[in-house]
Amino acid sequence: MNIGYARVSTDKQNDVSQIDGLTQYGCLKIFKEKASAKSRERPELDKMLNTLRERDVVIVQRLDRLGRSLKDLIELLDVFKSKNVKFVSLNEGIDTTTAMGELAFHLIGAIAQFERRLISERTKIGLTAARARGRKGGRRVKLKAKDVKMAQAMLLDRSVTKTSVAAHFGVSRPTLDKALQVAPPLQERSLFE
């Protein structure tokens, strides 16, 4: 069955030309979405994905109507492939029901994988360079060693709660608990110091 998907970003935009193109192509069912491409919430797309059966063909007017990004588009095309569903994009001439369309699909996938690997390699190089300059990765410590000692001292008073100590330092209770777990025990000071 030919299933169409039409999307516009705002209520002011018109999906008539998309619907006309999908109808002319022979779509028996068209899912119409009014949502920004940046939105993760696309209920009509979810409905369409849930109704797909083997040998269905998903048709869109343009690739950007389906995916928010190349990565998102590749993920959707992988879902289609896993369900044995074909895909057609009218403007770009991609038609995975043909050998040429299948090739185009694989080229898009290869480019996306290449892009992901480049990003990964650049990230690793950047982290190595930062470490060489003495920088560490990860989150910054919210409680310094002196703050943890002060918190330990405050907690010696049984009337003081961990929640109030966490609020005093502007951190959450779990953050305070983690800092206290890894901190060395508080040593009592000598009278002669």
115-162 per-position pLDDT tens digit: 778 888 998 998 889 889 888 777 777 888 899 999 988 988 889 999
The 3-state DSSP class for residue 53 equals coil
Residue ending a domain, choose from 112, 128, 157: 112
What residues make up the domain containing 155?
145-182
Q: Who's near 56: CB < 8 A, 6+ residues apart?
A: 1, 2, 3, 83, 85, 86
Per-residue pLDDT band for 2 (boundaries 50, 70, 90) equals very high
Distance CA(12)–CA(10), nearest Å, equals 5
Q: What is the pTM of this model?
A: 0.55
Question: Strands 86-89 and 29-34: what pairing?
Answer: unpaired
**pLDDT tens for each residue of 39-58:** 677 888 889 999 999 989 99
Q: What angle do CA 181, 150, 139 make, to 5 degrees?
A: 55
Is position 188 within any domain? no
Q: Are residues 169 and 82 in the same domain?
A: no
Residue positions annotated with a catalytic role: 9
Distance CA(50)–CA(131), nearest Å, equals 46
pLDDT of residue 190: 45
Q: Are residues 99 and 174 in the same domain?
A: no
